[in-house]
Amino acid sequence: MTVLAGARVVTPDGVLEPGWVSIDGGRIAAVGAGAGPPGAEPVSGWLLPGFIDLHVHGGGGHDFTSSPADMAAGVEFHRRHGTTRALVSLMAGGIDAMCTQLGWAAELAGSGAILGAHLEGPFLASARCGAQNKAHLLAPDPLVLAKLLDAGQGTVRTVTIAPEVPGAIGVVEAIVAAGAVAAVGHTDATYEQASAAFAAGASLATHLFNAMGSMSQRAPGPAVAALDAGVYVELINDGVHVHEALVRLAARVAPSRLALITDAISATGVGDGHYTLGDQAVVVESGRARLAGDDRLRLAGSTLTMDVAVRRAVQSVGLSIEAAVAAASTNPARLLGLSGVCGAIAPGLAADLVLMDDDLQVQQVMRAGAWL
Ligand SMILES: [Zn+2]
């Protein structure tokens, strides 16, 4: 039994100033306000639940699609930034290559290191493919979906799809029927087309506002469709992808549906230079990633980590710490049906904790009761 006491503890019922958390057998045993029981280990600053990143491609120089070792090492890199649970995102690629990568993800999920995989393709709109390789995009096809889901051995948790492409709605229904989350993204959909996907069971928008049409007063587009439908929405809060006013707006409209993600690529934590994202060449300058040889401002993922996303949410965007924690941990856990497993500092849940100092810099990370 470990007891941590003295930090401000962010719980679903508010901030305990100070509070204490007892940990037993990898789980949170009890949470309370005040100085805590005798023998407690003193900590200071903020104690937050471990972050859950629904959308990440790599980090620390490791691209998840390069090898099983790179996938594991990239996950490990993000853990040091407070991401105790994650989905590994796989870009559109050759189907055989994607199936191979899904096999690696299934193995990693089987060991408990990740929650599963996010398929960011291949059923995307070529007009909004972002950094994805157009040559790998496919029309929505239930047989291809079935092959990918099989390769993931039940660990594919989310699938991004463009709902306006013919055949997409049937595939949205098939994704949901398979127990996964259908996510609207990389899409040229109108408000109406996106709304049809949400009515068919899609329950997430992939990086809201990015890789989708923008809003106008008579054509509100897919982002408004997502907020209007009350589905979960991912946001890349790196100060580059989305204006802070839109982050505030999404947090106000969808406080229990907002999910902060990184969409981080291998360059994250390494520095500027030349990298790969899937089979695409990427250049990182001043922390901004774009496709090599592409002069337009087409971002190719981010170099964000979840601790920075949370710090920015509080210090730059102006969200409360409770709202930031909901978006970084509680909401993504609920989307995945894991509210009883992780995503909050509450008795019975996994002891996934991020200890941050007063400036919200990571001090220590605990996963399933063990400090990293
Ligand atoms: Zn992505």
CA of 132 to the centre of ligand 1 (A): 9
pLDDT for residue 228: 98
CA of 298 to the centre of ligand 1 (A): 13
Written as six digits, the tokens of 131 are: 């950094």
Question: In this structure, are strands 362-367 and 353-356 parallel, antiparallel, or unpaired?
Answer: antiparallel
pLDDT, tens digit (0-9, with 9 covering 90-100), for 217-252:
999 999 999 999 999 999 999 999 999 999 999 999
Give the pLDDT mean for 257-283.
91
Give the pLDDT mean for 18-23.
98
CA of 89 to the centre of ligand 1 (A): 6
- Report the range of poorest mean pLDDT among 28-42, 164-178, 278-292, 335-349: 278-292
**Active-site residues: which are they?**
263
CA of 39 to the centre of ligand 1 (A): 45
CA of 179 to the centre of ligand 1 (A): 21
CB atoms within 10 A of CB 17: 10
CA of 57 to the centre of ligand 1 (A): 6
DSSP 180: P
Q: Alpha helices, DSSP H only, in 21-141?
A: 68-79, 95-110
Instruction: Collect residues with CB below 5 Å from ion ligand 1.
Output: 89, 120, 263
pTM (two decimals): 0.97
> With 0-12 CB in 10 A as exposed, 13-18 as middle and 19+ as buried, what is 95?
middle
pLDDT, tens digit (0-9, with 9 covering 90-100), for 283-301:
998 888 888 877 666 788 8
Give the span between the Cα atoms of 223 and 221, in whole angstroms: 6
CA of 8 to the centre of ligand 1 (A): 33
Give the pLDDT mean for 137-148.
97
27-33 sheet: strands from edge to edge: 27-33, 19-24, 2-5, 41-42
CA of 317 to the centre of ligand 1 (A): 22
Give the pLDDT mean for 154-158.
97
pLDDT, tens digit (0-9, with 9 covering 90-100), for 102-118:
999 999 999 999 999 99
pLDDT for residue 295: 65
What domains are defined for the chain?
Answer: 2-47+347-371 (2.30.40.10), 51-335 (3.20.20.140)
Give the span between the Cα atoms of 160 and 89, in whole angstroms: 10
Confidence band for 129, pLDDT divided at 50, 70 and 90: confident
Give the pLDDT mean for 333-340.
98
